[in-house]
Structure 1
Amino acid sequence: MEYRRLGRSGLQVSELSVGSWVTYGSQVDQRAARESLAAAYDAGINFFDNAEAYAAGESESIMGRALKELAYPRANYVVSTKFFWGLDNRPNRYHTLNRKYLLDAIDGSLKRLDLDYVDLAFCHRPDPNTPIEETVWAMSDMVTRGKALYWGTSEWSADEIRAAYEIAERHHLHKPVMEQPQYNLFHRKRVETEYARLYEDYGLGLTTWSPLASGLLTGKYRNGIPAGSRAGLKGYDWLQQQVLDPAKNAIVGKLEDIAKELGTNVGTLALAWVLKNPNVSTVITGSSRIEQLHENLKAAELAKRITPEIKQTIEETVGNVHL
């Protein structure tokens, strides 16, 4: 496992990481989560991603109990959480990034995770109803109080990130260090085009999610929705149209041919392609079984074999650089 700096910060994160969205509390129970975290840690993964809203807080609780049972030195791993959606539909408790919510939400997450601090705290979505300045002050105070070590954003526009950074700089506050965007072969424009100036101007780091486009890039949806898959879960009906898209599945079929020539599968190829982007600090992966985790880990070695020519062939096959 290789490690990359989180943007321009000094923090090093494993190039592949483990996320708990959907899986913890939906597909993975306490025992399986502990075994998965142990296998990831043994493989050199040091970053575990979470969020307050995942499984309505249960994902944080499952991860917290697993880390407690495994008893790894706290300095050896990096944990994140994210805030915006909330756990209650009353005012100041959901769909907000106001000061009252944020400084209460971090306490709730730390209690569920059973940790003294999280390494990374993300604003899970932008909040059009709260001044960015208020959010920046609250997140900076969160870091100053030692409840988070770094803060950043998730799915914010480049203009919103730039505004937050400049407010922090003007007031000598803790600046946003990282962004967590979706990034995969079918979803590229924001990372490759919209954020392009932010990497050089601010040293923005990326902890990217959905490298397999919710499983579409594994090829498992080419013949429908298999039992036990994410798109078949209750409450995830919205994924079905995306993963069953005929045009995209046809492209996946062509990518499978490229993968076979390299002696691998299309899912590993798709992960390796994301790793080739030097602006990506870590690629967040998900797995409901240890076998899936081991398969994902193969992407790190495959990435070393992807030449500029192979990368170009992959991108020409997809043909969506502006999407």
Structure 2
Amino acid sequence: MEERHLGRSGLVVSRLGLGTMTWGQDTEPDEAASQLTAFAEAGGTLVDTADVYSDGLSERILGHLLREVVGRDDFVIATKAAIRPNGRYDASRRHLLSALDASLERLGLEYVDLWQVHAYDPRTPLEETLSALDEAVLSGRTRYVGVSNYAGWQIAKAGAWQRAWPGREPIISAQLEYSLLRRDIEREAVPAALDAGAGLLPWSPLGRGVLTGKYRTGIPAGSRAATSHFAEFVRPYLDEECARIVESVVTAAEGLGASPLGVALAWVRDRPGVAAPIVGARTAAQLKQALLSEQLTLPLEIRSALDDVSDIAPASP
């Protein structure tokens, strides 16, 4: 698998990341082990988790696998904090550093490679949140820092603050939802990240699974949309406009002899500023299908057609 630098930093990651949100909930430990092994065999290095995924069980499973199944040094481990179990955002210095300590304990690691603020907390001064990132690097608990789910102005403000004074840790990543079905971040968030030197880590690059084409004729049993905890997550992308984009992806895939999944992943993977889309598969078989996208580069005419069919209206001044 090819590798890329993450933003304007020296950190090199595989250009496809492995997401672990389902680990411990829809993905059992044995299946997680198969995923991580397949990912490593394909040359993947970036593994993404968070303290709230499966109430911390995702981190525990990952930590166990790093000790017992694969080597920790073979991976770039990324985790996140700022969302409490009750869903409240808390990016205070007190909560963030305590959450990082708890993540390291669950992972069984002395440090993570990338630690990201999971969400913007409007009740905490941004400079306090960023001071926690500085402390995390200074104390050796993480090597690099980033943000997740920040709006454009929030990325710009955080990036400018961190680069305004020597000794502050630069924001090197922005983890945002980005796919053919979710391009609104191109208006402000993507330009802000590029200007700040933060590499994009798109989450849900397959449009919450819809871009695989599995929902074209209904909701299959066993799919995320058929579960009580993910149905509302998928529902916004089951409208007519999204269906039109999905059909274009399917048509492109048929013409290339590829899968719709591969076409959708290749499209977002090669967008400006993208370092690595984060793919969260439920099974190892699904992940292996995603890994095949590494062999696919979209011809210019197909990329242009997909750009056109999924284009967003320009924002007003």
TM-score computed with the length of structure 1 as normaliser: 0.92
Could you say what secondary structure the match of 1:58 adopts?
Answer: helix
Could you say what secondary structure the match of 1:224 adopts?
Answer: coil
Which residue of structure 2 aligns with residue 312 of structure 1?
Answer: 304
Q: Distance in 1 between matches of 2:292 and 2:180?
A: 18
Instruction: Name the CA shift for 1:47/1:321 in 2 (closer, same or farther; >3 Å).
Output: farther
Instruction: Name the CA shift for 1:280/1:321 in 2 (closer, same or farther; >3 Å).
Output: farther
Which residue of structure 2 aligns with residue 154 of structure 1?
Answer: 148
Instruction: Name the CA shift for 1:257/1:53 in 2 (closer, same or farther; >3 Å).
Output: same
Q: Distance in 1 between matches of 2:176 and 2:15?
A: 15
The C-alpha deviation readout for 1:100-135, integer Å capped at 9, x for no partner, is 101100010001111111111111110000000101
**Unmatched runs of 5 consecutive residues or more in structure 1:** none
Could you say what secondary structure the match of 1:281 adopts?
Answer: coil
Q: Distance in 1 between matches of 2:26 and 2:195?
A: 40
Could you say what secondary structure the match of 1:150 adopts?
Answer: strand
Query: Kindly, what percent of the aligned residue pairs are identical?
Result: 37
Give yes or no for contact 1:120–1:152 (8 Å, CA) kept in 2. yes
Instruction: Name the CA shift for 1:106/1:189 in 2 (closer, same or farther; >3 Å).
Output: same
- Report deviation, 1:149: 0.8
Instruction: Name the CA shift for 1:71/1:264 in 2 (closer, same or farther; >3 Å).
Output: closer
Return the letter of the residue paired with 1:177.
I
Q: Distance in 1 between matches of 2:61 and 2:245?
A: 37
- Report deviation, 1:243: 3.8
Q: Distance in 2 between matches of 1:223 and 1:46?
A: 36
Which residue of structure 2 aligns with residue 82 of structure 1?
Answer: 80
Return the letter of the residue paired with 2:301.
E
Return the letter of the residue paired with 1:25.
G
Which residue of structure 1 aligns with residue 6 of structure 2?
Answer: 6
- Report deviation, 1:286: 1.5
Which residue of structure 2 aligns with residue 258 of structure 1?
Answer: 252
Q: Distance in 2 between matches of 1:122 and 1:301?
A: 30
Which residue of structure 2 aligns with residue 202 of structure 1?
Answer: 196
Give yes or no for contact 1:224–1:244 (8 Å, CA) kept in 2. no
Could you say what secondary structure the match of 1:213 adopts?
Answer: coil
The C-alpha deviation readout for 1:235-256, integer Å capped at 9, x for no partner, is 2231242243233223312321
Are 1:112 and 2:86 matched, yes or no? no
Give RMSD over aligned pairs: 1.8
Q: Distance in 1 between matches of 2:90 and 2:245?
A: 38
Which residue of structure 2 aligns with residue 47 of structure 1?
Answer: 46
**Unmatched runs of 5 consecutive residues or more in structure 2:** none
Residue of structure 2 aligned with 1:284, choices 278, 284, 306: 278
- Report deviation, 1:158: 2.0
Could you say what secondary structure the match of 1:119 adopts?
Answer: strand
Q: Distance in 2 between matches of 1:111 and 1:153?
A: 22
Q: Distance in 2 between matches of 1:247 and 1:202?
A: 33
Give yes or no for contact 1:186–1:320 (8 Å, CA) kept in 2. no
- Report deviation, 1:307: 2.4
Q: Distance in 1 between matches of 2:159 and 2:241?
A: 39
Q: Distance in 1 between matches of 2:70 and 2:194?
A: 38
Could you say what secondary structure the match of 2:25 adopts?
Answer: helix
Q: Distance in 1 between matches of 2:192 and 2:83?
A: 26
- Report deviation, 1:196: 4.5
Residue of structure 2 aligned with 1:216, choices 188, 210, 219: 210
Q: Distance in 1 between matches of 2:157 and 2:234?
A: 36
Which residue of structure 1 aligns with residue 180 of structure 2?
Answer: 185
TM-score computed with the length of structure 2 as normaliser: 0.94
The C-alpha deviation readout for 1:249-298, integer Å capped at 9, x for no partner, is 23312321121000012111100101121310111112122221121112
Instruction: Name the CA shift for 1:16/1:135 in 2 (closer, same or farther; >3 Å).
Output: same
Q: Distance in 1 between matches of 2:154 and 2:306?
A: 32
Return the letter of the residue paired with 2:264.
A
